[in-house]
Structure 1
Amino acid sequence: MARQQYHGPAFLSHGFRLFFLMAGLTGFLLVPGWLYLFFHGGTLPSGMVSLDWHIHEMIFGYLAAVIAGFLLTAIPNWTGRLPISGAPLACLVLLWFFGRVLMLAPVPDLVRAGGDSLFLIIMTFVAAREVKAGKNWRNAPVCLLVGLFALGNITFHVERLGMLDSDVAVRAALSVISVLIALIGGRIVPSFTTNWLIKSGAAARPVPFNSFDKAVLALTVLALAFWSMAPEGTPTGVMLILAGALQFVRLARWQGWVPWRNALVLVLHVAYLWLPVGLVLLGFAAALPEVVPMPSAGIHALTAGLMGMMTVAVMSRATLGHTGRELAAGAVGCWLYVILFTAALLRVVASLIPEFYASGVMMSGVLWSLAFLIFVVHYGAMTLTPRLVIKGT
């Protein structure tokens, strides 16, 4: 049955609207809750270990909302099909929210695991169905990565239920998201940079995707696969450091220093920079722990740095563009990016300097929440109102 044109409330017209708003609220609220539990102790109504809850919700709660909002908005552009909207979109949002409630509620562990796993499973099928219907096979790998992300969430619950004696799920999920950003970021960062360079009349151009990019992506996948299964040891460390070095070269080929005056473009390059930094830090933690004794430095370079900054960069840009506004960060956007970068930097440094750990974590958390409060207030309001109509167009 053909999907009909949507004529309902604006906030249910596209996936980015409610999902980006929910992601922003999640980023704002979760960290203060985690900081309270970290510094003051206490238990959750669900009985979950507070660290497990923090890890799960930032990865499979926050990131899942961002991925859903991005895919439900990008896939119609990929396939030429109408976006999922109205009641089906509302059901997806409610299913995501149901998972967040279950992670806090005092319900049986199997109920929590099953209910929370549903959203990403259904999102995988939705994405695959749309790509198949639009015969857009070029983006089939994206569907595969979302499916692996869903599998990582299931594995997380299986591990916490004691049915699997391992601790692979979180590393595997972070690896999948890192690869997803390397894949999609490898498209949008040079693409948006090229658009700005052409518009500004600059002669520089990013190097087009070629065999070098394929080789770097393949090595990154291999290195992160090894890290997921065996996070310590020289072979894993060497592959991670090499992948990080080559990812830095890949980023440099995109000419990111040229559009420094455009914050919406520059932030994409800065966000992607956290990928090679995270890979190198993880590599040293694996091969030379005397240099980087805590793997959390690399982990937070990938989470607070790469995933935090890249998701906010994409969400803010997409919100501006899809609501009919000028693609300009403005003062609010610039402050948002600076505060978020500082939060990520402090969190990584806190893992590298033990004497600075407690104060660094606290300052990072406060700045992180401030950044997401700015995002919710400034960009969240745009997601709830109709697209602007420019007179004369």
Structure 2
Amino acid sequence: MASTAPQVRAYTGLALFSFGFRPFFLLGAVWAAVSVPLWIVTYSFGPGALPFEAGLVWHVHEMLFGYGAAVVAGFLLTAIPNWTGRLPVCGTPLIVLVLVWVAGRVALLVQTDPAWIGATVDAAFLFLFAGLVWREVIVGRNTKNIKVAAAVTTLALANAGFHYLHLSSGGLPRIAINGGLATLLFMIMLIGGRITPSFTRNWLARRGAPPPVAYGRFDAAVLVFSLVALAAWVFAGDHRFAAVGMVLAGGLNVLRLARWRGYACLAEPLVLILHVGYAWAAVALLLLGLGSIVPEIVPRVAGIHAAGAGAIGVMTLAVMTRSSLGHTGRALVAGSGTVMIYFLINLAALLRVGATFLPISFQTSLNPVAALIWFGALAGFCLVYGPRLLEHHAFNLTHSLRP
């Protein structure tokens, strides 16, 4: 069987379609940069401000199942060949997959008539991708990552449920939104919980510093407890039992993170940002739980934005920057542009979460500011990393992100 690296080097088509991370990271970042300002225009000036659909329902969907799904696809299409030893998806099959994702974005933006056509086009991508992941994991006998395939399938089901509930009942389908958020948060805890201490260990070892605590029973227990708590929150988020479970899960993940010696990596932004992204996931769990227990103190939406803008926003950019550097043969060094991207995405998340604790009049002013800063972070990724993703360069197998 041919290995991943020779297969990529043998590819002679457009560089953009030589590996999954290239088109999905770039197009996902472009879409995230554009879609949030579109939503803010609608938020600030009303639903008739734009000639197409960019309201709240669209905004929530596109952040979770548009941008979120793109980054998941880019990461897994790059990681799975290294887990299984099978050939990567590139060339025509990758182009088809990307076009299906793009078709979903266009269909939902222009609002097809009847609406179920656009919903079907959009839902097709994640089901197609889930099938691909299952095929690779099963054929590659990589049973360790069946849980990753199950997570992608859950994300696909949540997306389909979002469309079905919205088309049948209107409004925001809360259970589907919670399902999508919970799935992405769990993937951060699952995969981020492996790569964060792993890259921290490598960096500390080169400096002769003590390593983080190795993965063990405590980590496995935290993952299982977090999964149960997230499932309870999805289906019974207002129940005190589910809310307390989320708070406990958040606290356990704080303890898990504290064992990885993130404080010793302050000099290395590429490692530190992984810790920050995981910290946002733990904070999101805490706020989501507290939002149900003491909603008069912690707004319910604070946890939603801590999960979306914080955990998902920060961790996706952390993975996208590191993976883009390593897999295009660059040195794993965060330049000034990368550091600025990290600063902006965290500032946008802090403003978005903080605004929820303020009166509506202040939120109206702060939300556009947060959106502008979010745009700066994602547009910054496109400017700094776009040229690297579009050009051929030596593939470096040693920088693979393994869960």
Matched residue, 2:326: 321
Aligned to 1:201: 208
Tell me the SS of whatever aligns to 2:264: coil
SS at match of 1:104: helix
Answering whether residue 199 of structure 2 is matched by residue 192 of structure 1, we say: yes
Residue-by-residue CA offset, 1:186-239 (whole Å, 9 max, x unaligned): 11000010110111221x211111111111111111111111112213212211
1:338 aligned partner: 343
SS at match of 1:26: helix
Residues 1:266 and 2:277 are matched in the alignment: no
Q: Which residue of 1 aligns with 2:230?
A: 224
TM-score (norm 1): 0.95
State the AA in 1 paired with 2:300.
P
1:128 equivalent to 2:153? Answer no
Q: Is residue 218 of structure 2 the alignment partner of residue 212 of structure 1?
A: yes
Question: CA offset at residue 6 of structure 1?
Answer: 2.4
**Structure 2 residue matching 1:386: 3-state secondary structure:** coil
Q: Does 1:32 align with 2:37?
A: yes
> After TM superposition, which residue ranges in structure 1, 4 or more long, deviate above 2 angstroms?
1-7, 42-46, 163-167
Shift of 1:372: 0.8
Among 62, 69, 72, the alignment partner of 1:67 is 72
Q: Quote the Cα distance in structure 2 between the aligned partners of 1:151 and 1:337.
A: 31
Counterpart of 1:362 in structure 2 is: 368
Which residue of structure 2 lines up, in the alignment, with residue 137 of structure 1?
Answer: 143
Return closer, same or farther for 1:160/1:45 CA change in 2, 3 Å cut-off.
Answer: farther
Q: Is the Cα–Cα contact under 8 Å of residues 250 and 283 in structure 2 kept in the other structure?
A: yes
Q: Secondary structure at the match of 1:168?
A: helix
Counterpart AA for 1:295:
R
Q: Tell me if structure 2 keeps the 8 A contact 1:168–1:229.
A: yes
Q: Does 1:8 align with 2:13?
A: yes
Q: Secondary structure at the match of 2:168?
A: coil
Q: SS state of the match for residue 387, structure 1?
A: coil
Separation (CA, whole Å) in 2 of partners of 1:167 and 1:249: 30
**C-alpha displacement of 1:7:** 2.4
> How far apart, CA to CA, are the structure 2 residues paired with 1:2 and 1:56?
39
Secondary structure at the counterpart of residue 262 of structure 2 = coil
Deviation per CA, 1:243-268, whole angstroms, max 9, x where unpaired? 10110000001111101100000000
Query: What code does the residue aligned with 1:342 have?
Result: L
Change (3 A) 1:2 1:88: farther
The 2-side partners of 1:159 and 1:17 are apart by: 33
- CA distance in 2 between counterparts of 1:357 and 1:231 reads 25
Matched, 1:155 2:158: no
Determine the structure 1 residue equivalent to 2:83. 78
User: What residue number does 2:184 align with?
Assistant: 177
2:327 touches 2:395 (CA, 8 Å); kept in 1? no
Say whether the 8 Å CA contact 1:45–1:106 is kept in structure 2.
no
Residues of 1 paired with 2:267 and 2:233: CA distance? 37
Counterpart residue type for residue 277 of structure 1: V
Using the TM superposition, give the Cα deviation of residue 42 of structure 1 relative to its aligned residue in structure 2, in angstroms: 2.3
Give the letter aligned to residue 199 of structure 2. F
Secondary structure (helix, strand or coil) at the match of 1:200 reads coil
Note if 1:291 corresponds to 2:297: yes
Provide the residue aligned with 2:356 in structure 1.
351
Contact 2:2 2:87 in 1 (8 A): no
Q: Where does residue 28 of structure 2 map in the other structure?
A: 23
Aligned length: 387
The farther-off stretch of 158-167 and 92-101 is: 158-167
Q: Using a 3 Å threshold, how does the CA distance of structure 1 residues 163 and 51 change in structure 2: closer, same or farther?
A: closer
Kindly indicate whether the alpha-carbon contact (under 8 Å) linking 1:13 and 1:85 is maintained by their aligned counterparts in 2.
yes
SS in 2 for 1:152: helix
Paired amino acid for 1:124:
A
Q: Hey, what's the Cα distance between the residues in 2 that align with 1:389 and 1:56?
A: 34
Alignment of 1:229-240 (within 5 A): 229-240=235-246
Asked whether the 8 Å contact 1:35–1:365 carries over to 2, the reply is: yes
Aligned counterpart, 2:306: 301
State yes or no: 1:51 paired with 2:61: no
Q: Distance in 2 between matches of 1:328 and 1:49?
A: 37
Aligned-residue Cα RMSD (Å) equals 1.9
Confirm or deny: 8 A CA contact 1:79 1:130 kept in the other structure. yes
